[in-house]
Amino acid sequence: MSESPVYLDHHATTPVDPRVVEAMLPYFTQQFGNAASRTHAFGQAAQRAVEEARERIASVLGASAREVVFTSGATESNNLAILGAAEAYAARGKHVITLATEHKAVLDPVAHLAEKGYETTILAVEPTGLLEIERLEAAIRDDTVLVSVMAANNEIGVLQDLAAIGRLTRDRGVLLHTDAAQAIGKVELRVDEVPVDLLSISGHKVYGPKGIGVLWLRGKNPRVRLRARQFGGGHERGLRSGTLDVPAIVGIATALELGESERAIEARRLGGLRDRLCERILGELDDVVVHGDRDRRLPGNLNLGFGGVPGEALLTGLRDIAVSSGSACTSADPQPSHVLAAIGVSPQVAHASLRFGIGRHNTTAEIDRAAARVVEVVRHLRAIYPGDESRFETVRPE
């Protein structure tokens, strides 16, 4: 009897936690009302569920409930934040800054602004993947209205110093948006402690349902204004019209609460599993490098580049281990990862790099099995593809 595949792609998506499913179920068949239908008990019950969820999410974030806007996911939240803020503050200036390592859900809206006549600056990062604060300081201009920097990178897991970045943008009177889809529930991030102005969340990255997200926007000091991108009914204070998905809203609120309550313990566990996986692979193979800063990174993230193997064959050989070679949103793109390219990784090694995303339900046995399988496949490929040009200097764990 064959073993089940090992799922190590939690940056792409997470399974819905059974406790989240349990919380959602009544809102499919029993309390199924439309939250906008407030003239009868069914709609009123749905509205209460939505507002209670809004309060619960705000509590996790250290925010006010009125600052929480529901969307379909972090991609929509990013678009609403970036495009909505750029348009709302166009009279003040038309310059936007972001990083070369951002998710396409940030880079593409910024590119759209450039097509509309805005000036955009895409900042380089250090080989570690981290932003040098002086580089951002030099890039901010009098007409800069928005900086967008993700809290945790979805490929190499590095954690940007949002506190320092936020202090700089606040001093310069510039709004700071962060895509926190990968960070929330995994590292501490509260908007009453970190000076960000807009923050994006996706339910399916935090063991909640797909198709639901949150955009948080600061309500005072400063009060953030946005230009709506979707119209038809005035839902969510006119910022995001459309019938609210009550079960999913209850689900994301539950998922965020669970993530926050278990975060510290889970971070230690995931960090231990990640280090075990790294040590077992690097202890058996040479010509392997860890992409991204070794210390400032998500506890469950490991991104390794393997010299001397063709990337497509590497992924094919690991069909029983669910990993990826980059962002899930661009996995059909044959081009190497733009994130790895931005930190100086060659195209050959980028193609032969694997992102391991360790999650809530992974076990030590699964980690050991995955490590052994990676070692086996890499050794096999190196034996049949000698002389591959992607070899490079070995980096050992510290």
Residue 363's CATH number: 3.90.1150.10
Query: Would you state the structure tokens that stand for residue 19, as one six-digit string?
Result: 């406790």
Q: How many CB atoms lie within 10 A of CB 265?
A: 9
Burial-class residue 271 by CB neighbours within 10 Å (0-12, 13-18, 19+).
middle
> Does residue 193 lie within any of the structural domains?
no
Give me the count of residues in the chain: 398
> Does residue 351 lie within any of the structural domains?
yes
Q: Where are the beta strands (DSSP E) in the chain?
A: 6-7, 68-71, 95-99, 119-123, 144-148, 175-179, 198-202, 213-217, 288-290, 301-306, 321-322, 353-357
> Does residue 32 lie within any of the structural domains?
no
> Does residue 376 lie within any of the structural domains?
yes
Instruction: Give yes or no: 329 in active site.
Output: yes
Burial 338-358, CB ≥16 within 10 A → b, else e = bbbebbebbebbbbbbbbbbb
Burial 180-196, CB ≥16 within 10 A → b, else e = bbbbbbbbebebeebbb
For position 395, what pLDDT does the model report? 40
> Does residue 288 lie within any of the structural domains?
yes
d(CA 55, CA 61): 10
Collapsed DSSP state (helix, strand, coil) of residue 176 = strand
- 300 contacts 273 by C-beta, under 8 angstroms: yes
Q: What percent of the chain has pLDDT over 70?
A: 94
Q: Among 36-45, 96-105, 306-315, which is the least confidently predicted range?
A: 36-45
Q: Among 164-168, 196-200, 388-392, 394-398, which is the least confidently predicted range?
A: 394-398
d(CA 142, CA 327): 34
Tell me which residue range forms the domain holding 296: 6-13+263-384
Q: What is the pLDDT of residues 215-261, one digit of tens each?
A: 999 999 999 999 988 777 767 776 887 889 999 999 999 999 999 99
For position 332, what pLDDT does the model report? 52
For position 232, what pLDDT does the model report? 75
> Does residue 145 lie within any of the structural domains?
no
How many domains in the chain?
Answer: 1
For position 38, what pLDDT does the model report? 83
**Nearest partner of 74 among 101, 48, 109, 50, judged by Cα:** 109
> Does residue 341 lie within any of the structural domains?
yes
> Does residue 369 lie within any of the structural domains?
yes
Q: If you average pLDDT over residues 86-105, what whole number do you get?
A: 98
- Please state, in angstroms and as integers, the Cα–Cα distance from residue 211 to each residue in 10, 184, 203, following that order: 16, 17, 7
Query: Would you state the structure tokens that stand for residue 70, as one six-digit string?
Result: 């529901």
The residue assigned the tokens 């007409």 is: 143
Q: What is the pLDDT of residues 122-152, one digit of tens each?
A: 999 999 999 999 999 999 999 999 999 999 9
pLDDT of 396 over the 60 cut: no
Q: Which of 329, 341, 375, 395 is catalytic?
A: 329
CA angle 12, 15, 18 (to 5 degrees): 160
Cβ neighbours for 370, distance < 8 A, ≥ 6 positions apart: 6, 8, 277, 321, 323, 356
